[in-house]
Structures are given as structure tokens and as C-alpha cells.
Amino acid sequence: MFIARLADCFADPWIGYCSDRFASKRKQWMIVASVLMAAGVIGLFALPQFASETNAVWLLGILLVITYLSYSVLSIYFYTAGLALSTDYEGTTRVSAWRESAIILGVLLASALPQILAVHVGEKSAYHLFSYCFVAILVLCVWSWLSRNPFNKKSNSEQLSPWQELKENPSLRWIFILFFVNAIPPSITATLFLFFVTDILHASEQGGAFLGVYFLCAVLSMPCWSWLSTRIGKRRALVAAMFLAVASFVWAYALSEGQVGAFYVICFLSGAALGGDLTILPSLLADALSHKPHRGGLEFGIWNFISKFTLALAAGIALPVLSYMGYVPNQPLSSVYALSFSYALLPSIFKLLALSILLISPIDTQRRSK
């Protein structure tokens, strides 16, 4: 799984590069990626039926690589096509809000549907049926989307390499640096969430409900952030989202066993802050690319790479810190203060660092005209 994820992570910039370099073939590659992703998902859920002990590991690895890479192709092309929907200041925010809210709702549906199906057909059959439902939804969405011809087919024959692009474009450099640092706090909290709920709140049975509140609040807050960014500008709206995130993180540090109600409020506030990040940050990247609407694959490929890399980095930061400070999961005498620090204050430090980068950067210092 590690090798599959590593291959997926480092492939993203090059998938984006090829998307721009061979822009006229995007539709065909999307169809190929959709077929491979459907086959990968069905194969993964059917794996126990046809895999022996000797070939299961190899089949699992191959199917994971196929599924991850095909999803990366689809997601990068999906983000790139959004550039053609709007290039004005408010429009890029609306596109970002609709897209990110749909992604979160898809995650919630994918999490809930197997549990709902299991009630009626049993757990094993539920996951098989879920894979077929997934393929049906995938076919419907890709077919209806491609029928609208979302891509600008103009290609760019003189293409910079992914890392030369960062070197040559200072505006993108600032945005990517901000996005990288700002993505670390939610990655840390995602890594340590179950530890915190289990060993600090002693409410592991409510973990799903906490996550549901968190993600639903992120979705519901996106129209508000979109409205606010049009009134005060994206820079100021993002500052407000960052302050809200820090406030919720600091409050979480003060929690102890049984304070479930307070944590629901924290999930509400931190979810709303996440909604601000998801609404505004991708729209800033779209603004930076508005002068070259035929591009975007490379930049969103790097964007995907950063998202995945920070998840791995967060585990590499938070878990060693916890171990060094003496925390051992599910041990009553372990250092729960180390867990509170790593879950709440450590993300606050990175979030304040991201806020400092935003304040000293030239990002969105002048609102673009409509």
C-alpha cells in the first residue's frame, strides 16, 4: 500500500504535465481512466473470491496502483475543466465551492452506503454491491460531463517541466507554499483523530458522528465563505477561516474525558474553517491561471501531489512527537497531554505559520476586475 500510494503521489505532477502537453486527447484519456478505475474498484472488492494466498498481495498491489492512478487522472482533469467554467474573481470561488462541496458529499455517501446496504444484504454482499453502484454512478457522471465538452482543446507545445514551472512563476510559488503549510494542520488532526476521541474524550462510539458534523459543516459553510470572499476579498476571508481554525484547535487542547458536547461544537467550528480553506484556496490557484485557460493540468497535478504528500508528512511529524513525549495508545497511564498537544497545539503552530505566509505574501493583494 505504501508503494502504491508513493507511486500515486509522485505521478500527479507528470499526469498534469501530460494533460497540458496533449490537451486534445483529454477526453479519450478520461474514458480510459474511467474504465480502469471501474475495473480496479470491482477487482478490489472481488479480490477475496478469486485470489489465493500466494497471489493476493501482488493482485492487491496491482489493483491499488490502477485505482489510485486512474483516480488521479480523473481528478486532475476534473479540476482542469473547472478553469473553463469561469475566469472572473467571484466565479472562480463559486466553481471551487460547488466542486469541493460535491467531493465531500461524495465521501460521505461512499462512507455511508456500504453500511446501509449491509443492513439488507449482509456485509460481504454489501461491499460487492457497493462496487457496482460506484461504477454505475461513475459511468453516469463521466458520460453526462463529457457530453458537455468541458475541455479547451488548445495544447501547449512549449511546456515547462513541473519544477521549472514553480521556479519561473513567483505567484504560483507563493500559492503552493501557502497551500503546503496550510494542509499540514488538518492532516495532523486526521491522523490523530481516533486517538484523541478514544483516549481523551473516551467516546470512540461517537467518532462517526463527530466526522459527520465536521464534514457537513464544511459543506454548509461554503456558500457563506463564497459570499464573504466577494464582499471583503479572498485574502481577508481566508484570514478569517484560519483564525477560526486556530480558535477551535486551541479549545480542543483544553478538553478532557466526557466533554462530548464541547467537541461537537469544535467539530462544527473546525468544519466551517475547513469549508473556508476548500472554497478559497483552489479559487486562488484558478485566479493565478486565468490568463492561460488552456493550462491547469500541471498546476493541479502539483496541487494533488501536495495534498497527498502532507498526509504522509503529518504522520511522520505527529506520530514520532507522540512517541517521544511518552504517549502509547489505549494505555491509561500514558501521557494524554502529549496527545492533546499533538492533536490541538501542533496544528495551531502550523496554521499560524500559514497565516504568516499569507500576510507577507502578495497573494490576492489586489482584487481582479470582473
| Percentage of the residues of the chain whose pLDDT score is greater than 70 | 88
Q: Where are the domains of the chain?
A: 2-146, 164-360
Q: Which residue has the higher pLDDT, 51 or 284?
A: 284
pLDDT at 285: 87
Q: Supply the pLDDT for residue 213.
A: 92
Amino acid identity, position 15 = I
Radius of gyration of the chain (CA): 21
Would you state the pLDDT for residue 150? 62
Encode pLDDT of 164-213 as tens digits. 666 666 778 899 999 999 999 998 998 888 888 988 888 888 888 899 99
C-alpha distances in Å from residue 87, one per residue of 55, 91, 148, 361: 50, 6, 18, 22
Average pLDDT over every residue of 235-244: 94
Which three cell numbers, joined as nine digits, stand for 107?
465521501
pLDDT at 155 exceeding the cut of 70? no
Question: Cell numbers 466551517 label which residue?
Answer: 272
pLDDT-derived band at 368 (thresholds 50, 70, 90) equals: very low
Reported as a single tens digit per residue, the pLDDT across 317-344 is 888 888 787 777 766 545 677 888 888 9
Q: Is residue 218 very low, low, confident or very high in pLDDT (cuts 50, 70, 90)?
A: very high
Q: Tell me the pLDDT tens digit for each residue of 104-130.
A: 999 888 888 888 888 888 887 888 899
Q: Give pLDDT, residue 166.
A: 63
Quick one: pLDDT at residue 370? Answer: 38
| Across 71-80, 154-163, 303-312, least confident range | 154-163
pLDDT for residue 369: 40
Domains 2-146 and 164-360 share a fold: yes
Q: Cα separation of 314 and 328, whole Å? A: 18
- Given this structure, which CATH class describes domain 2-146? mainly alpha
In this prediction, residue 120 carries a pLDDT of 85
Q: pLDDT tens across 140-151, in order?
A: 988 888 887 666
Tell me the per-residue pLDDT of 160-169, one tens digit each, with 9 for 90 and over: 555 666 666 6
Q: What superfamily in CATH does domain 164-360 come from?
A: MFS general substrate transporter like domains (1.20.1250.20)
Convert the pLDDT of each residue in 21-50 to its tens digit: 777 788 888 899 999 999 999 988 877 666
Instruction: State the average pLDDT over residues 130-146.
Output: 90
Which cell numbers hold the place of 58? 501482488
Cell numbers describing residue 301:
497535478
Rounded alpha-carbon distances, angstroms, from residue 102 to 87, 91, 108, 147, 265: 20, 17, 10, 19, 23
- Name residues whose C-beta falls within 8 Å of residue 32's C-beta, 6 or more positions apart in sequence: none
Q: What is the pLDDT of residues 252-306, one digit of tens each?
A: 998 888 899 999 999 999 999 999 999 999 988 888 876 665 567 888 888 889 8
Task: Give residue 37's pLDDT.
Answer: 94
Could you tell me the pLDDT band of residue 157, with boundaries at 50, 70 and 90?
A: very low
